[in-house]
Amino acid sequence: MRGKYFHVQTKNKKARDRIKSQLEHWYRSHARKIFQERLMGCYDKLRKHEAPLPQIRIRYMSSRWGSCNRNGKIILNMHLIKAPSHCIDYVITHELCHLKHHNHSRAFYNLLNQVMPDWNLRKKRLELVQI
């Protein structure tokens, strides 16, 4: 690593797929650890609202940072690990609010505003990160 970037060199062209696989494994492991830590911090803010503690899944998504299903699972985009931690917290908190309100209703946004008053600033910052 140089700064915040990986620099990988090889003369063996056959090794490229293996290197790509290893980097993806590293990112996934790193994301799993960081997302779980961030989840616990975000969940503390919603605990009093009786939202269940969800399971987190990680996958690549082309147009979303996260999603939540009615079974209480939150799916986070693998690329979210590249975002600042306050943006990760926004996405997780947004999805946690969906555990109480499965839509983008006024009640959903009231809850989001209550637990994260600056969510809109975080969302704007996240929009600068490329998926």
- How sure is the predictor about 8, in pLDDT bands with cuts at 50, 70 and 90? confident
CB 67 within 8 A of CB 95: yes
pTM: 0.88
Q: Is residue 4 part of a domain?
A: no
Which is more confident, 42 or 51? Answer: 42
pLDDT digits (tens, 9 = 90+) for 50-105: 878 899 999 999 999 999 988 889 999 999 999 999 999 999 999 999 999 999 99
| Domain, as residue range, for 93 | 15-126
Share of the chain above pLDDT 70, in %: 100
Asked whether residue 85 is assigned to any structural domain, the reply reads yes
On average, the pLDDT of the chain sits at: 91
Examine residue 52 and state whether it is found in any structural domain, yes or no. yes
Q: 9 in a domain, yes or no?
A: no
Return the pLDDT at 18: 86
8 A C-beta contact, residue 39 and residue 109: no
User: For the domain that residue 107 is a member of, what is the CATH number?
Assistant: 3.30.2010.10
Task: Determine the residue type at 107.
Answer: A
| Residue 25 maps to a domain | yes
The answer to whether residue 58 sits within a structural domain is yes
**What is the total count of domains within the chain?**
1
pLDDT of residue 89: 98
Phi, psi of 129 (to 5 degrees): -85, 135
Residue 10 falls inside a structural domain: no
**Residue 1, in any domain of the structure:** no
Residue 56: the pLDDT is 95
DSSP 63: S
Mean pLDDT of all residues in 98-124: 96
